[in-house]
Structure 1
Amino acid sequence: MSSTIYKTSQNDMQIHIFKTNIETMLDLDMLQLLFNANRNIIEWSVDLEDIDKVLRVDSRKNLSQIDIINQVKLMGFSCEELD
């Protein structure tokens, strides 16, 4: 029996950076439920010590910034693109 390993190439990935109002570990738990269910999100993090509560999302290219913003806003958080 042979197995095949699928890897996401760097060309198929993108990084999104957002300013949010995420502040607590409970907030992070809520996001974890959302993001772990999304197969297009490879990795994510929130810097709770940064004044902008920066959310970084590494994703496949078929997930847009608007999609992420809308999902985060549906959870009750503010989320806007950082330049």
Structure 2
Amino acid sequence: MNILVFKTDIDNTHKLASINNFFAQIPEINHWSVDMEDIDNVLRVETSGDILESNIIDLLNKIDVYCQDLA
């Protein structure tokens, strides 16, 4: 299992719903959460398999979500 940590612009429930629908289609993502109380709106993604930080960033950019690696 890998834990990937990102800075994002996820600051509302609409973006959360979009990400939930998107991540639900990716079996390698076991769990994810967003801390919207943090100034960086930190996204934590628990993965299995070969998903890299760059994969998550690219996927989220496709749905207009800003995402930057924090690790």
Give % identity.
35
Give 3-state SS (helix, strand or coil) of 1:70's partner.
helix
Q: TM-score if structure 1 supplies the norm length?
A: 0.82
Aligned-residue RMSD, C-alpha:
0.7
Name whichever structure is richer in strand by fraction: 2
- Return 5+ residue gaps in structure 1 as ranges: 1-12
Match of 2:19 in 1: 31
Deviations 1:23-68 (A, max 9, x none): 1011100000110110000000000110000000000131111110
1:52 aligns with 40
- Count of residues in Structure 1 that have an aligned counterpart in Structure 2: 71
What are the ranges of 5 or more consecutive residues in structure 2 without an aligned counterpart?
none
Aligned to 1:18: 6
Is 1:43 aligned to 2:31, yes or no?
Answer: yes
1:72 maps to what in 2? 60
Moved beyond 6 Å, runs of 4+: none
The structure, 1 or 2, with the larger RCO (C-alpha pairs under 8 Å, 6+ apart) is 2
One of 47, 51, 67 as aligned partner of 1:63: 51
Looking at structure 1, the residues matched to 29 and 49 of structure 2 have their Cα atoms a distance apart, in angstroms, of: 10
Compute the TM-score of the two structures, normalised by the length of structure 2.
Answer: 0.96
Question: Structure 2 counterpart of 1:47, which letter?
Answer: D
